[in-house]
Amino acid sequence: MEDALEQMLRKGLEEDGPGKLFGLKVVEVGKERMTAEFTVTPPLARTGGIAFGGAFMSVADMLGGMATMANLTPGDQTTTVESKTNFFAAARLGERVVAVCEPLHRGRRTMVWRTTLTNGAGRVLAIVTQTQLVLPRERAPEETAAALFAGKSAGEQKALLAKLERSGAALYRALASEEEDEGAREALLAAAEREEENARLLEAQ
């Protein structure tokens, strides 16, 4: 059974916008690989019954964009910033084309995808290489802080949290040094000591 992400990607490719125009049929959906098929129909062919090169490029762009979305944190977006196409053979009217999109690079700021388009006989028709820019959504401070701990072991998380506690203690002391009210100053210094105690506790574990 498909999860919500797979359903969203299939809908985006098969039903929304250009995907519906191309009559795309999604064969495979995932973070590592996206595969779709389409048939060269009259709207996709030029004089002589040969598929427009732009049809290959458009399908590859859709796959690369959706593949990037599959690898992003929910709420983030992407846009194509570069695309290069090498054409090797023609696809004729009525011919079935298979497009397979795979990652060459998946980074935090950019992702690069290669889409290989072949005909029913397995002959390579075109290869499209495109770069996708990652557009992160604005995150709440607590989400940004939580991201610092993602992917780290328990020991690494404790060490990082201890450093943050000591940083908090230093900030409390800086505020205390500027506080004129004695009661408020004492409260800030007490808070600083609690932060230090938390750091010592984490470091001792």
State the CB neighbour count (10 A cutoff) for residue 165: 19
pTM score, whole prediction = 0.67
> Does 119 lie in the same domain as 61?
yes
For the stretch 76-118, pLDDT in tens is: 899 999 999 999 999 999 999 999 999 999 998 999 999 999 9
Domain end residue (candidates: 113, 135, 157): 135
- For residue 2, pLDDT over 60 is answered with no
> Does 48 lie in the same domain as 130?
yes
**Residue bearing tokens 């964009």:** 65
> Does 109 lie in the same domain as 22?
yes
- The boundaries of the domain holding residue 86 are 4-135
Q: In the chain, how many domains are there?
A: 2
- For residue 61, pLDDT over 80 is answered with yes
Residue 75, sorted as left (phi over 0), alpha (psi -120 to 50) or beta, turns out to be left
Domain end residue (candidates: 92, 117, 135): 135
Angle formed at CA 161 by CA 190 and CA 150, multiple of 5 degrees: 150
> Does 175 lie in the same domain as 160?
yes
What integer pLDDT is reported at residue 1 of this predicted model?
A: 38
| Nearby residues of 120 by Cβ (< 8 Å), 6 or more positions away | 95, 96, 98
For the stretch 135-194, pLDDT in tens is: 987 766 666 677 778 778 888 888 888 888 889 889 989 998 988 888 888 898 899 899
Q: How far apart are CA 56 and CA 48, in angstroms?
A: 17
